Structure 1
Amino acid sequence: MAFEREWGTLAGIGGGGAGGYHRFAWTPADLALRAWFREQAARRDMACEQDRNGNLWAWWGTPGPGAVVTGSHLDSVPGGGAFDGPLGVVSAFLAIDVLRERGVEPARPIAVVDFADEEGARFGVACVGSRLLTGVLTPDDARALRDGDGVTLAEAMRAADADPDALGRDERALERIGSFVEMHVEQGRALDDLGARVGVASAIWPHGRWRCTFHGVADHAGTTRLADRHDPMQPFASTVLAARGMAERFGGLATFGKVRVEPGATNAIPSRVDAWLDCRAPDETTVTRMVKEIGAAARRAAGLHDVRVEVVTESSTPLVEFGDALRDRISAALGGVPALPTGAGHDAGVLSASVPAAMLFVRNPTGVSHSPAEHAETGDCVTGVFALAAVLEDLACR
């Protein structure tokens, strides 16, 4: 098993080390990742193509209906870990190596996919490639997305020699997928607690992103009396605390992880604060109630400081329950493995509304993710590769 060697070919792209990875869509790092993917496909004599939405596909066999598809994504959050996404892509290529070494000849084509912009780190919407593929995200909405520097997705794609005018639901690609199995490092430590190296996903919690904009009045930090201020930072701070309280009250999760302050000067009262709220819970009703209550808390706090607030939905994903038939078949192929829900969103969750989809998880001993401390032991990763190979053989040969 050449896991460490193959893993090492990817490690130097887009950062790494104590600062984590910064692999954002349509940047030089992303283009280098795409080149790596094409090289991996070429080394295995797999035909490689980029679809209309920027997703990359490598084919073992003739592309066509009923294909067994695996893979994940290669992009990262800011300062992200090494395993979130890339583990699924590297493992997919290595699983194909395992099957070839065994002399397996699939009855159906097998494809490895790298979905574009899964994390949404640059343009703010997660799973852009799979959402466009399935029609969940419209082409016009996608093209209009902007990064922190005001660059639109359309402009970024053109700069990378991709065609934003071609974006949209891709019936041809969807018709080829007979089943999709995504391997991913577990973003939690449930498998470690169970003493298991590999598990399957039962469901993905409903989740979404909401932009909260607090409009105040810029002024001098050293001369403006406290009573005369319209400081948007004050109600924002109150809202952060309220969100934590709501999460504890409702048994969900609420996080403000991204904030933009204007004008952004140390000696100036802000005129505006944009903050992005991430909410997740076991059911959609709870997510809705949490967001409603957090919005109400924001408006109450804004009123105390003569500040105006807006709460806008940027993305929302319903509860995903992976189909029993595919999940049970995968578990049986592996001799029975634990099934567990996750609060993390994935391309498999997006695809599940259109094609049979499932997920395999590899143990994460610390449970840490979206951080440079994210980790999986090499032995567990190798176990994951062999597990994925067994699943692909079962789905493509029987």
Structure 2
Amino acid sequence: MWRDLLPLGRHPGTGGYRRYAWTGADAECRAWFATQAELRGLRHEVDRNGNQWAWLGDPADGDAVVTGSHLDSVPDGGAFDGPLGVVSAFAALDELRRRGTSFSRPLGIVNFGDEEGARFGLACVGSRLTAGRLTRAQAHRLTDGDGTPLPRAMEAAGHDPDAIGPDPGRLARIGAFVELHVEQGRALDLSGDRVGIASAIWPHGRWRFDFRGEANHAGTTRLADRRDPMLPYAETVLAARREAELAGAVATFGKIAVEPNGVNAIPSLVRGWLDSRAVDQPGLDAVVAAVEKAAREHAAAHGVELDVVRESRTPVVEFDHALRDELARILGRDRTAPVPVLGTGAGHDAGILSGSIPTAMLFVRNPTGVSHSPAEHADEDDCVAGVLALADVLEGLTGT
């Protein structure tokens, strides 16, 4: 499975993945998922929001256990973020069949669409729509960097954009969702554990900073006469780093758009996107407020206008305590020490769904902590340990 999936959407120049929502690479990944379902005799379906499901048993029976993740990527992302959870789900089912496990509850495997938000700028679109945390009207207003609206992209991929929206009936049939994911950090590597359980997702959000100055000639305009928005933007990037360090949080300006974007032109507009995450909501609010305050001071000093727009905000997510404790019990049966439980600053579909159904997460050790990069990696032995842990969990939740 891993070898078949590995080349899909891989950029030959960077070695990273560009599996963006509703593109050709996305279609190839979806076809791969459908094939894996067919090979195992599972019923494959695509829901109203473009999420793919593979079912063992009838989900209409209710109280289903679902596992899986996503197959799309960030720009030039790694091979493990998302796909490891989907591949491991199919592999865990294979392991349970090898064991001869009998299932008392329906079992589903899911590939959520557009989790990374790389194309349309909003993460977890598929699960947000399903959970009613993104309306059809809001989704229809999303556009990519080329100005293509989400509805047009969906239509081009053969999906009806007018059908999208909340799917409470589907969620009502799910009793538990367990998502396996490569750890996006080094906590397990430092503790020496191959697999861990998630406790919570830090609150996080994305803010757009629009610095508006005056375009002019780079060679003839005196420094004193310039209203250059790049200067306050650069100072704001440094301020974000300082404020995050002081608060024990993280803050990143990782995306920028410049107009007119000429080598010999002073910009008229510099648009930067801030991603910030913290252990709790007060800490996050304090960091973002401090960054905005610094940005406004620097903009005023350079005669530049500033608009700040909050594009998304996700509160702290505490995973279902009863389900989390059940996972710890199942995985701790043959251990002398408890399975590590750790928080994460990364968002996931499991976090989006946590307000609607009981959710939990398993993390697989990442030896370098690198993620969202072609260098992202997990050792094969650790991946196998993740599959076996997921199989144990699914057997414990669905087996008889």
TM-score by length of 2: 0.97
1:166 positional shift: 1.1
In the aligned structure 2, how far is the partner of 1:100 from the partner of 1:36? 21
Q: Is the 8 A contact 1:25 1:116 kept in 2?
A: yes
1:117-266 to 2 correspondences below 5 Å: 117-266=114-263
Residue in 2 aligned with 1:381?
A: 383
Question: 1:5-41, CA deviations, whole angstroms, 9 ceiling, x for partnerless residues?
Answer: x110100000167431111111110011001000000
1:125 positional shift: 0.6
Residue in 1 aligned with 2:29?
A: 33
Question: 1:278-309, CA deviations, whole angstroms, 9 ceiling, x for partnerless residues?
Answer: 00000001111111111111111111111111
Q: Is the 8 A contact 1:16 1:82 kept in 2?
A: no
SS in structure 1 opposite 2:34? helix
Matched residue type, 1:296: K
Residue in 2 aligned with 1:318?
A: 315
Equivalent of residue 67 in structure 2, options 62, 66, 70? 70
* Residue 363 in structure 1 maps to residue 365 in structure 2: yes
Q: Is the 8 A contact 1:200 1:337 kept in 2?
A: yes
Q: Is the 8 A contact 1:66 1:176 kept in 2?
A: yes
1:263 positional shift: 0.9
Residue in 1 aligned with 2:398?
A: 396
In the aligned structure 2, how far is the partner of 1:268 from the partner of 1:161? 42
1:328-339 to 2 correspondences below 5 Å: 328-335=325-332, 336-339=338-341
Matched residue type, 2:58: T
1:224 positional shift: 1.1
Matched residue type, 1:382: V
Residue in 2 aligned with 1:3?
A: none
Question: 1:96-140, CA deviations, whole angstroms, 9 ceiling, x for partnerless residues?
Answer: 111111221211110000011111111111111111111111111
Equivalent of residue 60 in structure 1, options 56, 60, 63? 56
Q: Is the 8 A contact 1:16 1:372 kept in 2?
A: no
Residue in 2 aligned with 1:341?
A: 343
1:158 positional shift: 0.8
In the aligned structure 2, how far is the partner of 1:22 from the partner of 1:211? 23
In the aligned structure 1, how far is the partner of 2:155 from the partner of 2:174? 28
Residue in 2 aligned with 1:110?
A: 107
In the aligned structure 2, how far is the partner of 1:199 from the partner of 1:72? 17
Matched residue type, 2:41: D
In the aligned structure 1, how far is the partner of 2:15 from the partner of 2:274? 24
Matched residue type, 1:365: P
In the aligned structure 2, how far is the partner of 1:29 from the partner of 1:11? 12
1:246 positional shift: 0.6
In the aligned structure 2, how far is the partner of 1:212 from the partner of 1:166? 33
Q: Is the 8 A contact 1:200 1:338 kept in 2?
A: yes
In the aligned structure 1, how far is the partner of 2:309 from the partner of 2:135? 17
SS in structure 2 opposite 1:52? coil
1:228 positional shift: 1.4
Residue in 2 aligned with 1:10?
A: 5
Question: 1:164-203, CA deviations, whole angstroms, 9 ceiling, x for partnerless residues?
Answer: 1111110121112110000000001111111111010011
Q: Is the 8 A contact 1:204 1:319 kept in 2?
A: yes
In the aligned structure 1, how far is the partner of 2:260 from the partner of 2:27? 33
Matched residue type, 1:45: G
SS in structure 1 opposite 2:138? helix
1:365 positional shift: 0.7
Matched residue type, 1:155: R
In the aligned structure 2, how far is the partner of 1:193 from the partner of 1:80? 24
Q: Is the 8 A contact 1:21 1:77 kept in 2?
A: yes
Matched residue type, 1:380: D
Q: Runs of 5+ in structure 1 lacking a partner? A: 1-5
Q: Is the 8 A contact 1:216 1:272 kept in 2?
A: yes
Residue in 2 aligned with 1:24?
A: 20
In the aligned structure 2, how far is the partner of 1:16 from the partner of 1:235? 34
Matched residue type, 2:93: I
Question: 1:49-95, CA deviations, whole angstroms, 9 ceiling, x for partnerless residues?
Answer: 11111111000111221100000000111111100000000000010
Q: Which runs of 4+ in 1 moved over 2 A?
A: 16-19
* Residue 299 in structure 1 maps to residue 301 in structure 2: no
* Residue 45 in structure 1 maps to residue 41 in structure 2: yes
Residue in 1 aligned with 2:87?
A: 90
Q: Is the 8 A contact 1:73 1:85 kept in 2?
A: yes
1:162 positional shift: 0.7
Matched residue type, 1:280: R
* Residue 281 in structure 1 maps to residue 283 in structure 2: no
1:331 positional shift: 1.2
SS in structure 2 opposite 1:19? coil
Tell me the C-alpha RMSD between the 2 structures: 1.0
Matched residue type, 2:249: G
SS in structure 2 opposite 1:302? helix
Matched residue type, 1:19: G
In the aligned structure 1, how far is the partner of 2:160 from the partner of 2:225? 51
Matched residue type, 1:351: L
Matched residue type, 1:305: H
Corresponding pairs, count: 393
* Residue 351 in structure 1 maps to residue 353 in structure 2: yes
Matched residue type, 2:349: D
Matched residue type, 2:399: C
